[in-house]
A and B are shown apart, each in its own frame.
Chain A
Amino acid sequence: MTSENKKRWGMVIETRRCIDCKACMVACEIENQVPLGKHRNWVGQIGPTGTFPTLGLRFEPGNCMHCENPPCERVCPTGATYQREDGIVLIDYDKCIGCRYCMQACPYDARYFDQARGVVDKCTFCVHRLDAGQPPACVETCVGGARHYGDLNDPNSEVSKLLATNEHTVIYEEAGTEPKVFYIS
C-alpha cells in the first residue's frame, strides 16, 4: 500500500436504525468462532427511561473502537497488541501471555479472556474479510442497516459521507482514545 493511498478503516453506527435484534452478535460469534458465553460485539440498551407513558429507549451497538490512541497497546508488556498501518488494532496471539492488563486498560470493555487458548481476544474488524474485499460480518447482516464501515481517508466512502452530513459522537471522547467507531443518533 502506498502512503498516498493509505486506508484508515472506521465504522459509523446509526443508533436510530438499531432495533436490538443482535444479529450482529450471532454473526460475529459464528464468523470468528468466539467461545460460547463470550462476545466481541454487543448491543447496549439505554432505558426505558422516564415514567409511563413518557418513555425513551435507545440501543447502542458497539465493539472494539480500534482507537487511534489505543490504551490496550500501551499497557501490553509483550507488544502482542499492535496497530496495523490501516488503523486496525490486532493481537499477535503468539506474543500474548494472557496477563490481561489490556482488559483493564480498555475503557470500552471490548476484550475478553479466552480460557481455552490462554489469550485475550477481541474484535478484529473482520480483518480477514476486509483483506478479501468483504464487509465485516456484523455490518453485512445488520437488518436495520445501522452498521456501516469504510475508509475514513476516502471522502467518497459511505462512512466519510455519513460523517460529513451528520452530527456524530464517539464514546468517552474525554479519554483521548480517539475511537474510529462513530455514532450518529
Chain B
Amino acid sequence: MSEQGIKIGDVFDWELSRREFLGMGAVALGGLALSSLPFAPRLFSHDTSPARGNAHVPPVHFDREVYTLCEQCVWRCGVRAKIKDGKVYKLDGNPYHPHSNGMLCPRGQAGVATLYDPDRLRFPMVRAGDRGSGLWRRVSWDEALDYTAQKMQAIKQQFGAESMVFSSTHNLAQTQFENLLRAFGSPNYGTQRSQCFNAMIIANLMTFGMQEPGRDYSAAKYIIYAGRNLAEAISNSETQDLVAAIARGTKVVVLDPRFTKTASKAAEWLPIRPGTDLAFFLAMLHVLVTEELYDKEFVAQYTVGFDEMAQAVKPYTPEWAASKTEIPAATIRRIAREFALAAPHAFVHNNWRTSNFVNSFQAERAIAIINAISGNWEQPGGLFPDAGESGVPLGSIPQPPYPRVSALRLDGVPWKYPLVPLDIGVFQELRDAILAEKPYPARGWLIYRQNPIASLPERRKTLQAFSKLDFIVTIDTTMNDTAWFSDVVLPEASYLERYDPLSVVGDAVFIRQPAVEPLGESKSGLWIFKALSTRLGLQDYFQYTDEEDYLRQQIKPLGITLDELKTKGYYRPPSAGETKTGFKFDTPSGKIELASSSLAKNNFPTAPVWQEPPAPPADQFYLLTGKVAYHTQCSTQNNKLLHELFPRNTVWIHTQAAAARGIRDGDEVFVESAAGKVKIKATVTEGIRPDCVYMTPGFGHLSKGTRVSYGEGASDSDLHLTYTDPASGGQALSQTFVKVYKA
C-alpha cells in the first residue's frame, strides 16, 4: 500500500486513483476493474456510444426481483429492485408496502443513480494531509478499524468514555449504533431531530404521551396545515393520502408565509406572518372554548386540565391574533367554526420546519390540544394511536448490561433540557459544547451516516468544533462534507446492497436486503459496528456472526425462515388486524393532558401561552427554508438524475422587495445574516410574503469528493443562527434574519 497521499477534488479522479492503485496492487482491486463496474447504462449512455439507430428496447422480464426498502429519505417505502445482468435496472414501488402502495417519488425512482454514483466511497481511507485537503491514503479494513479502535481506546483511557461523541441520523441500523455508544460508555449522542421536529415530539409527548399520533385521511373532512408541505416534502403514502383527500373534496387550509405547491392545492392559503402560528392556534382555541365548540363528553372522560387551559386561552381573541398573524379576525373565527363543524372528522396537522421559532413548542401544544378537545381521537378522519415501530414483537440479541455512565451529557439533556428524550438530544447544543469545551472537552467524534457540517446552523461553528477534536471518523456511502473533514472514512454499502435490522410498520415486518453485491469494499453498518466492537473489546454486545444471523435472531418469535421473509420482503403475523384493547395514554395522569403536570414540574407554562417571536428590522427579511420534492436534506444533491431536475437552489424574493433593491429574476445577490453571507441567484416571485425570503436547504457543498453537487448553489447553514427552545431543544430555524442586495 502506498504511503503517498492521493488528492480528491481538483486533481483527483476516482478512476485515475483506481488506475494508480492498479499499478500498486492489482490483486486487491481486481473486482473494481472499470469494465466490470456495475454501472447502469443509463448513467453512462454518452460513454457507451451506441451504434447509429440502435434502439434500446427496455426489458420487461428480469433475472430477479428483490423486495427491499428505499432509503432515499427516512420514510422507508417498499421497493421492487428489478435485476438484469447483475445490475439494478429499475426500482418500482412495492405494492404490498403501506408507505409506497406501488409508487415511488422522484428520489425513490432515482435510487439507481445513488447506487451507481461514481463518487461512492469504495474502500476505507485515512487522511494523508490536512483536514479538508482532499489527501487520502487507501487502507485495508483491518488497518482502518485497528486505527479507529486504538484512537477511541486511547481517548477513553486518557479522558474518559464521555470524551468520545457519537452521532447518527434516523436509520434502521441506528439501534446497533446506539448499542455501540452505550457499550462504549459515552453519554454523548446526537441525532438530527432537534433540527427538525423536537417541538412536535415533545409537545405530543406532554399531551398524548406519544411522539406522533397517526392521522386518518380516509374520512377527514377538514385539515389544517401550518408549514407542513406534503406536496414537496414528500412522505409518499401521506402525500398520496392528501392528494386523494383533496380530490375527494376534503377542505384543506394551509398556513404558510410562502405559496408552496401544497398551498396551491389547498382550498384556502393564508400567508401568515412567520413565528405567529401560535397566535392563530391560541385564537382558534379561544373560539372553540368560548363558543363551546368542543366535545364535552370526550373532554370529561379522556382529558385533564381543561379549566386551566380554558382560562389560559381567554385573552387570545381572534382580534388579538389578527394583529400578530396578519390574518383577519373574521377568517380565524370562521376557520375555527368550520373546523368544529367538521369535527371529529377533522385534524390540525403538526407543523414543522417552515416556520420554526423558539415559540414553536407552544404552537405544537396548542395544535395537540385543539385536536384533543375536538374529540377526533380514534374517530374516522381524526387522530389515532400509532404503534410506531413496536407493532410486531421481534427477538432481541442477548447482551450484557451496559456500563454505568455518570458524566453529564454535553448537549444539556436532561440537566438543561429536562423534557428531551435521551435518544433524541439537542444536536446544536452538542456542537456548541464541543466548541466551548464546556462542561468538559470532547476529543473524538464517531459519525454514522450523518452530515452535521451541512445540516447544523452556523456551518463555520461546526467546522471550528471539528478543529477542537483529535479524532473524527465518518461512516457513509459518499464523501459528503462531513466525511471530507474527517480523519478516517469507512465506506458503507448503499441501501440496495446491504442488510439492515428489520423495519416494523403497523402490524407487519419488512426487510432491507441486498439487491446486488456491495460496490468495492463497502460493508453494512451491522458489519462495521461488530468489527469495530471486537477491536474495542465490546464483542459481547454484538452477539451475531453476520447480518443474516442478526436477522434470524430477530425473526425467531415469528416462526418463519429468513428465506420466506426475503422472498416476499415482508411478513404479517396471523394475529395482525385483531383489535387491540386497553389503550392508555402514556402520561402521568393516563389521560390527554390539556394542562401538563410534567411541564408544571419543570417550571414551564402548563397550558399554552403566547411568546412574542422576534421580527426582522425594516430593511431585513425572515429567512425561510423548506423542502423540494427532488431532494432529501443535504444527501441527494450528488445524484445525477435529481441534479438534472433541481441542480441548485436560488433565493425567492417578492416582486416588490426585489424591485426596491434593483434585483431582477436570475440576478446574483448576496444574502447576509449575522452568521455569514452567501452569493446566490434570485428567483423573483409573487409567491412569498414581501417580508420573507426562501432558500431550499442542503446546497453549497464543500466536498470536492461529490463532484456533481460541489459548488452548486449556496448553503443555508452558512446563514442560520443557533437558537434553542428551552422546552423542546428544537432549533428555531426560521429565527434568522437576512439582508439581501445585488452582488
Contacts and interface: CB of A to CB of B under 8 A. Distances in A.
B348 to A, nearest CB: 21
Given A20-B629, A23-B106, A36-B640, A30 B261 contact: no
Contact of B45 (A56, A57, A116): A116
Interface in B634-672: 640-642, 644-645, 654-655
B243 A23 contact: no
Contact of B53 (A34, A117, A140, A141): A117
Most B Cβ at <10 Å: residue of A14, A19, A57, A93: A19
Given A22-B106, A25-B106, A119-B53, A52 B690 contact: yes
Nearest to B629: A21
Nearest to A57: B264
A143 B105 contact: yes
A171 interface: no
Contacts of B90: 27, 30-31, 137
A132 interface: yes
Interface stretch (B54-62, B117-125, B461-469): B54-62
Interface in A84-138: 93-94, 96, 116-119, 126, 128-129, 131-132, 134, 137
Contacts of B42: 29-30, 33-34, 36
A119 B56 CA distance: 12
A32 interface: yes
Contact of B104 (A17, A23, A116, A129): A23
Contacts of A145: 240, 243-244, 247
Contacts of B89: 30
Contacts of B259: 48, 52-53, 55, 57
A53 to B, nearest CB: 5
A132 B57 CA distance: 13
B102 interface: yes
Interface in A140-184: 140-146
A145 B232 CA distance: 15
A113 B56 CA distance: 14
A16 to B, nearest CB: 6
Contact of B56 (A33, A51, A132, A143): A33
Most B Cβ at <10 Å: residue of A129, A137, A141: A141
A26 interface: yes
A143 B57 CA distance: 26
Contacts of A21: 105-106, 231-232, 234, 239, 629-630
B601 interface: no
A35 interface: yes
Nearest to A34: B42
Given A51-B686, A141-B92, A22 B629 contact: yes
A19 B53 contact: no
B45 A35 contact: yes
B264 A141 contact: no
B740 interface: no
B153 interface: no
B94 to A, nearest CB: 12
Contacts of B105: 21, 23, 143
Given A26-B645, A36-B640, A117 B50 contact: yes
24 contacts: A17-B247, A21-B106, A21-B232, A21-B630, A23-B103, A23-B106, A23-B108, A25-B106, A25-B645, A26-B106, A26-B641, A27-B104, A29-B42, A30-B91, A32-B58, A33-B42, A36-B644, A48-B685, A48-B687, A57-B264, A117-B53, A128-B59, A134-B60, A146-B243
Interface of A: 14, 16-17, 19-23, 25-27, 29-37, 47-48, 50-53, 55-58, 93-94, 96, 116-119, 126, 128-129, 131-132, 134, 137, 140-146
